[in-house]
Structure 1
Amino acid sequence: MPYTFQDPEPAMGKPEHLALYPFNLLPILRHGDFILYETSVIVAHIDEAFGGEGLTPRDPRGCARMNQWISAINSYFHPYMIDHVTHERLVFPELGIASDEMVVAHAVPKVELGLAVIERELAHGEPYLLGSELSLADF
């Protein structure tokens, strides 16, 4: 399926970007006149709308576990691992912004907990969070 990638980052904060993503973040999917934001929503839509091998379990328990992981990643993993540690240690210094080590120190125990939870989940010997089947939660 043909697609066009556009880097919206230069437009962030401007009215045309805020019209697409009112929270001034990324990513955005535009499919004709249909516009979505929020990563987990975009990937779920792609999984449902564009055919191919599905990444959503068909059984209700598997689907619930997948959604639980997606929620945990959005609520606990991403904010602390990406917003707090990665941005403070990697992104901000590249932009000439001083790191706030108090933010990092607050986030590190939460990152360690998140990694321990994933390690425990993957201890079953299967390659994916839900077992042998790849799902949206793995992305």
Structure 2
Amino acid sequence: MQVLSKLNHAVIEFYEKLSSWENDVVREKGLTLPQMHTLEVLGIHKAMRMKELAKRMGITTGTLTVLVDRLEEKEFVCRKPHSTDRRSIIVELTGTGQAMFEEHDRLHLRLIEELTSELSDQEKDILLECVTKMNGAF
């Protein structure tokens, strides 16, 4: 089997395992995966316009509106008017949302520590470089 075919199958298997783990973790918190993804993007990049958030997540503003409505009901995010653009709405994490993001981020870090525990520092550097390049290709 050629290398690209093996890599293809390995990436698919990794994605499926990671997705399963992620779904289990998120479900325990009473959230959906897209809701948690919204918290992650806001936790990493901080408050932003709805349009920018939708673009960063690769979804429509209509889909994002439904997600933000649900997260606002759960008091994880809040909307506020943009200071200089009356047409724009800013979405940001509440204290509860920030705490949920930080807890989830710690779970991710622990998972990465476990998954890479047998890799050398050099292998971790190479893995980071490869994943970064792959992310940049999207």
TM-score for the superposition, normalised by structure 1: 0.36
Q: Which one has the bigger helix percentage?
A: 2
Q: TM-score, normalised by structure 2?
A: 0.36
